[in-house]
Each structure stands twice: as structure tokens, then as C-alpha cells.
């Protein structure tokens, strides 16, 4: 079994380059289905969820050409709808985007149930609500979700989302891009990856405005064409390394970021007494004394990202005082706390709140990643801990982090991938 071995206790120094954003790459890969032409996508992070998404498209008839480590040409001219491989689709949450893309281009979609990290129930009622507003009918059975446009295709309409869901916002944009007339998505998600998907589609000829605000307008167009597109930097990867430096000490410049996307994480670190310097596309984090406590409440963007919650809990476990972390996006995202406790963290979870009494230093243990960000949190804890921590569940971490071991080594961390 693959594990990540972390010998903790060394401060980190140097530079880290941030890769493209996984949660923008996935919808853009699936959005390319709508295009029916060749798109060149640059700055794709080489992580397993991206590889799996490309594989799904290839299995369904798309041509995937590797033009470099992070650049891929995707041609979906010969893509065949309704042929998604159930087994692959079941491993990936992003595969729900097949619904919006196939429905938008072919008028119908038949897609296996999607998977992804387990945070309690992950409903798609808001996606369905959007498709229905555009005139489609939805049915599901044990293994498949099936959605079909009415006679005459999809018609633009107002869609009011009850929750500012990232997935539903993307799926409705995808379905509306080639629909007849105007769709307005109210209470849309505002995450930077929503803007990235809209920018990609607009480069292909779509007419989408308002992405990044809570009202997105989509005027349907007849067809799209190929384009060259570069994916945004990953704000969660950047935030993870910021938290790692704050937990381990040292001084690291995180390069190739959009500081605007990092504002909530930056503000929290400053509140904890960690030094953060901001340049045009670089953020330098320095930590020489033990950070103070902070209360964190996750929320939809521009609130504190839920995908940074486990990493911050690891950091707050070594803060000088008591912190409260409240999870307000997912029903259940504290499974990793039991693993952190094995490392000496003093955390009590009640419902969606974790109370964390910081300890001076964590201790090494054998732990297991319960999901992607949980895995990153355990590595952060290991970097602080005394002794050798072994983190199992590496394949979960590899879903979303590009070469986390190599990047941490490059800033002086003692980490390695081992087989046990
Ligand atoms: N929700 C509904 N109904 C829906 C859709 C969502 O009730 O139809 C609820 C969910 O249960 C959840 C909340 O709305 O409580 C937010 O869900 P959202 O749809 O925004 O999440 P998602 O699209 O499934 C993406 C990311 C997640 C990230 C969330 C929130 C991808 C592939 N996944 O998931 O990323 O946590 O947005 O920002 O983009 C990760 O990268 O570690 C990760 C889990």
C-alpha cells in the first residue's frame, strides 16, 4: 500500500509553483463536449481526477492529444452521447457535468451515478430543477440518471437555485449554452471556477455574462467552436501550502496565484498572527512564532472555502488557544478528526462544529486520509509533529494535488512516498 511518510519538525523555506485548478479543469473538460470541435486546454493539473475525466471522454469517442505535461487537445467531434462508462463515472463527482453537456448538445443524456468524496448526502435536486426549467424531463434508476429535452429542444428560462451550488450552476450553464433564448440563473455560485468555465465557453462562442456574481445570464447560441484556453491557478492548492507553512514555521513564497482568490485564507492567517505578504501573483507566508487561535466558518465563495476546512483544523490544532470551526456547506466533513486525534489533537465535534484546543506540538502516528482535503490536513499535521507520520489513502490525495510530495520536498520538508 502506498503511504506518504512525513518526518515532522522542520521549518519550510523556498518557493512553490501552483498548478491549475482541479475544480475548474473538470467542468471545462466536460464542457468541451458541447463544443464538438478541437479545444486546446493549458495548465491542466496532472492529478488523477483530471486523468479520469479525460479517460471518460476518450472512452466516449473524443480524441485526446497530449501536447505537453499540462496541455491537452480535446476534440469531441465524434463524441457519442449516452455511452458513459458506469464504473469510471461512479468514481468522480465531476462526471455529473456529463448531464448538462450531453443534454445541451444532443438533447438527452444517460449518465451513471457519480461518486466523489463522501461528505454525507450529495443530492442533485438543484441540477434537476434547472434542467426542468429549460423543459427537460429527468428520470433515475439504480445505476443511471436520464434527462431528455422536450419536443423542439431546450428553451432558456429563469432558474432560481435554492442553494448556490457549484455543480448545479455549472450544469445549468452547460445546458443553457445551446438552448433557444435566454436563461437567467439566480443565486448562482460565485466561485472563481464558475468564472473560468464561463470564460472557456465564451471563448468557444457562448454568450454568458455575470459569472462571478449571483446572477448569470446565458443567451443561447446555435453552435460553438474550438479555442485555446488556460485554466486558473488552484486556490485550494495554494491555501493548503499557506496552511502548511503556518503549521510548520519558516518562510515560503507561493507563486502563480491570484491573491484576490486567497483573501479569506489570507485574512484568517493574519488574524492568527502569521505574516502574509502579497505581491502581484505571489504570496509569501512567514511564521516564526506559534500562531494564535481563530474561529472559522465555511461558506460559499467569497466565504471561507469548505475545501480548506480540514487543513485549517490541522493548523488550529497547534495554535496557542481555543478555536471553533463551523462547517456550513457540507452535511458531514469532520471524518478526519478521529485521525488528527491519533496525533494528539484535542478536538471535540458536535454536529457541524469542532472545538479545537491547540496543543504545543502534535505527535507522529499512522493515519489514513478519509478524503482528498483530509489527506492534505494529515500531511500538514505530520509536518508539525514530532517523529514519523505515515499517511495512508494516498490515492485520495492524488485526486487533487499535483506532486504534493515533490513540492513539499522542494521547500525542505522531509516527506517521501513509500510502499508498505
Ligand atoms: N446541494 C444540494 N443540491 C444540489 C447540489 C448541491 O443540496 O443539487 C448541496 C450539497 O449537498 C452541499 C452544497 O449544496 O451541501 C454545496 O454543493 P455543491 O454543489 O456546491 O458542491 P459540488 O459541486 O458537488 C464542488 C467541488 C467540491 C467543493 C464544493 C463546494 C468539484 C468537482 N467539487 O462540489 O470540491 O467542496 O463544490 O465548494 O468541483 C474538493 O475539491 O475537495 C471538493 C470536495
Indicate if 105 and 212 belong to the same structural domain.
yes
The CATH number assigned to the domain holding 68 equals: 3.65.10.10
117 is catalytic: yes
pLDDT for 262-312, tens place per residue?
999 999 999 999 999 999 999 999 999 999 999 999 999 999 999 999 999
Within this chain, do residues 202 and 239 fall inside the same structural domain, yes or no? no
pLDDT of 117: 67
Q: Which helix (H) or strand (E) segment is 282 a member of?
A: strand 282-287
Phi, psi angle pair for 416, to nearest 5° = -155, 155
Q: Which atom of ligand 1 is nearest to the CA of 305?
A: 38
Last residue of a domain, one of 198, 230, 262: 230
247 and 151 co-located in one domain: no
- Residue 140 scores a pLDDT above 90: no
Q: Which residue, by CA, sits nearest to atom 40 of ligand 1?
A: 307
Residue 331: the pLDDT is 87
**CB-based contact 367:390 (threshold 8 Å):** yes
> Are 358 and 316 contacting, i.e. CB atoms less than 8 angstroms apart?
yes
Over residues 375-389, mean pLDDT:
97
Cα of 252 to ligand 1 centre, how many Å? 30
This prediction's pTM: 0.97
Q: How far is the CA of 68 from the centre of ligand 1 (A)?
A: 30
Q: Judging by DSSP bridges, how do beta strands 275-278 and 282-287 pair with one another?
A: antiparallel
Together in a domain, 265 and 222: no
Please choose from 95, 123, 165, 191 the residue to mutate so as to test ligand 1's pocket, defined by most ligand atoms within 8 A of CB.
165
- Do 152 and 10 fall into the same domain? no
Q: Reply yes or no on whether the pLDDT at 141 is more than 90.
A: no
Mean pLDDT score of the chain? 96
Instruction: Report whether 354 contacts 377 (CB < 8 A).
Output: no
Query: Is there an atom of ligand 1 within 6 Å of 372 CB?
Result: yes
Lowest mean pLDDT among 108-122, 283-297, 401-415: 108-122
pLDDT of residue 210: 98
55 Cβ below 6 A of ligand 1:
no
Say if ligand 1 is within 6 A of residue 124 CB. yes
Are 176 and 295 part of one and the same domain? no
346 in the same domain as 282: yes
CA–CA distance, 124 with 139 (Å, rounded to integer): 12
Q: Does residue 247 have a pLDDT over 80?
A: yes
Tell which of 184, 214, 230 closes a domain. 230
**What pLDDT sits at residue 223?**
96
- 219 shares its domain with 239: no
- Same structural domain, 286 and 166: no
Q: Give, for ligand 1, the residue of 25, 92, 95, 122 to mutate: max count of ligand atoms closer than 8 Å to Cβ.
A: 122
pLDDT of amino acid 144: 86
The total number of structural domains that make up the chain: 2
**103 touches 149 (CB < 8 A):** yes
pLDDT in tens, 178-188: 999 999 999 99
Residues 8 and 98 in one domain: no
Residue 38 belongs to what domain range?
22-230
Indicate if ligand 1 lies below 6 Å from the C-beta of 126: yes
- Cβ neighbors of 115 (< 8 A, separation 6 or more) are 89, 90, 91, 92, 93, 95
Does residue 116 surpass a pLDDT of 80?
Answer: no
Co-location of 12 and 40 in the same domain: no
Asked if 223 and 286 sit in the same domain, the reply is no
Q: Which of 162, 195, 230 is the last residue of a domain?
A: 230
Amino acid at each position: 500500500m502506498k503511504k506518504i511518510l512525513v518526518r515532522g519538525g522542520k521549518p519550510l523555506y523556498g518557493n512553490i509553483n501552483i498548478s491549475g485548478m482541479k475544480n475548474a479543469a473538470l467542468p471545462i473538460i466536460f464542457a468541451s463536449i458541447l463544443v464538438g470541435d478541437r479545444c486546446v486546454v493549458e495548465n491542466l493539473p496532472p492529478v488523477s481526477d483530471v486523468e479520469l475525466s479525460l479517460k471518460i471522454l476518450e472512452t466516449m469517442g473524443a480524441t485526446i492529444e497530449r501536447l505537453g505535461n499540462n496541455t491537452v487537445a480535446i476534440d469531441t467531434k465524434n463524441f457519442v452521447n449516452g455511452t458513459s462508462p458506469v464504473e469510471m463515472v461512479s468514481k468522480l463527482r465531476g462526471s455529473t457535468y456529463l448531464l448538462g453537456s450531453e443534454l445541451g448538445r444532443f438533447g438527452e443524456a444517460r449518465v451513471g451515478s457519480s461518486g466523489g468524496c463522501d461528505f454525507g448526502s450529495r443530492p442533485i435536486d438543484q441540477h434537476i430543477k434547472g434542467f426542468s426549467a429549460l423543459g427537460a424531463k429527468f428520470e433515475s434508476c439504480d445505476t443511471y440518471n436520464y434527462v431528455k429535452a422536450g419536443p423542439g429542444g431546450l428553451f432558456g428560462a429563469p432558474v432560481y437555485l435554492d442553494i448556490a451550488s457549484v455543480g448545479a450552476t455549472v450544469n445549468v450553464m452547460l445546458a443553457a449554452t445551446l438552448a433557444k433564448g435566454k436563461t437567467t440563473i439566480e443565486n448562482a455560485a460565485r466561485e472563481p471556477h464558475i468564472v473560468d468555465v464561463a470564460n472557456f465557453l465564451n471563448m468557444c462562442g457562448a454568450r454568458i455574462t455575470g459569472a462571478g456574481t449571483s446572477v448569470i445570464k446565458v443567451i443561447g447560441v446555435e453552435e460553438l467552436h474550438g479555442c485555446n484556453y488556460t485554466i486558473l491557478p488552484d486556490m485550494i492548492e495554494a491555501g493548503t501550502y499557506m496552511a502548511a507553512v503556518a503549521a510548520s514555521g519558516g518562510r515560503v513564497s507561493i507563486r502563480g496565484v491570484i491573491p484576490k482568490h486567497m483573501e479569506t485564507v489570507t485574512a484568517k492567517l493574519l488574524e492568527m498572527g502569521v505574516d502574509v505578504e502579497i505581491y502581484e501573483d505571489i504570496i509569501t507566508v512567514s511564521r516564526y512564532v506559534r500562531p494564535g487561535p481563530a474561529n472559522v466558518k465555511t461558506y460559499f465563495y467569497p466565504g471561507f472555502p469548505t475545501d480548506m476546512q480540514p487543513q485549517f483544523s490541522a493548523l488550529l490544532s497547534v495554535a496557542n488557544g481555543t478555536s471553533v470551526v463551523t462547517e456550513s456547506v457540507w452535511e458531514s466533513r469532520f471524518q478526519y478528526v478521529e485521525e488528527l486525534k491519533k496525533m494528539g489533537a484535542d478536538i471535540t465535534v458536535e454536529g457541524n462544529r469542532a472545538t479545537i484546543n491547540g496543543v504545543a506540538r502534535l505527535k507522529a502516528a499512522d493515519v489514513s486520509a478519509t478524503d482528498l482535503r483530509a489527506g492534505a490536513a494529515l500531511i500538514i499535521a505530520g509536518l508539525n509533529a514530532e517523529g514519523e507520520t505515515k499517511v495512508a489513502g494516498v490515492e485520495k490525495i492524488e485526486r487533487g494535488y499535483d506532486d504534493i510530495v515533490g513540492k513539499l520536498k522542494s521547500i525542505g520538508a522531509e516527506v517521501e512516498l513509500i510502499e508498505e
